[in-house]
Structures are given as structure tokens and as C-alpha cells.
Amino acid sequence: MENQVSSKSIIVNTGIQFGAAGVLVSVASYAMGAHLDPHWSVQVISVAMLVGFLVFGIKKFKTANGGFLTFGQAVKVGVGISVLAALVSVVYNYIFTSFIEPDFMNQLIEVQNQKWVEQGMTEEQIEASNAMMEGFQSPLLSSAVGIIASAFFGFVVSAIAGAILKKSPEEQY
């Protein structure tokens, strides 16, 4: 396999496309007024996009590589796409929470508090939960957690796709 293609362009192009698609889903959710309490279908769409874009990127790399793909290459491409898409999402979230909807976190906490009241939580329990949530409101921390989570889920999906799609020159004969 001395003629290996570079995965960089595939990772960059597919990662930006995946990130842009995620931003479009977020914008649509915001436009419909469902950004504070999204419908379950938004999560289904997000998972389908994760699997779809990663498998698409891995298959694109396999095609560009003459039909050959190692498990490691699949994981590298998939995690790269996921991390780049997460970076696009981090930039969008920063813009959204800083300029478009600066009061977003307070609104989100209020919606969550209302759900907890409906579930029968006491005022003390809600206050304790809010105090715990305050530690996670740092933009830097939430961005880091988002990127790490994206890398993890990208790894899982890529590992499964890589195990299914892998093909070495030795397997050709």
C-alpha cells in the first residue's frame, strides 16, 4: 500500500459538511421555538447524521484509496470528521449564546426547573441541582466536554464501520 491517499481533505470536507448540517438542525430548532425543549426527533436526526456522515466519509476514503481500508484508517477518518464537526458546533454555540440568544442558559435552567417541579422535586432538591449545574455553565468546559463526547461517539461509530468496511490488499485474492 505504498500509494496511500491523504485522509486530510476527506476529513476536512466531510467534517465541515457535518458541522454545517448540525448547525442547520440547531437553527431550524431555534426558528421553530423548540431550542429550549427540543422534540425527540431532533436527537434521532442528530444520531442519523452522525452515522451517515461518518460512514459516508469512511466509504469516500476507501474509494479514494483504491477500495482498501484498514481499521485504523477508518477510526482516524471518523474521529477526525467528528472532532471537526464538533469544532464547527462550538463556534456556532459561542455565537448563539453570545450574540443571538445571550440569555439562553437562564432560559434553559428555567425550563429544566419547571420540569423538576412537575416531577415532584422539592425546592431544596431543585436548588441543589441548580448549584451543581452552575459548575458546568462555563463555555470552555462545555466546549471541551462537547468535543470529547463527539470524539468518543465518533470513535464508536467509526470502529463499527471500520470493522465492517475494512479490506486489505491480501483479502483481494
- pLDDT attached to residue 2: 46
The mean pLDDT value of the chain amounts to 92
Q: In terms of Cα–Cα distance, which of 171, 168, 147, 150 is closest to 73?
A: 168
Q: In the chain, which residues have pLDDT < 50?
A: 1-2
How many beta carbons lie within 10 A of that of residue 120, not counting itself? 7
Is the separation of the CB atoms in 19 and 11 below 8 Å? no
Model pLDDT for residues 101-148, shown as the tens digit of each residue? 999 888 988 998 999 999 999 899 988 888 888 877 788 888 999 999
In the beta sheet, which residues pair with residue 167? 69
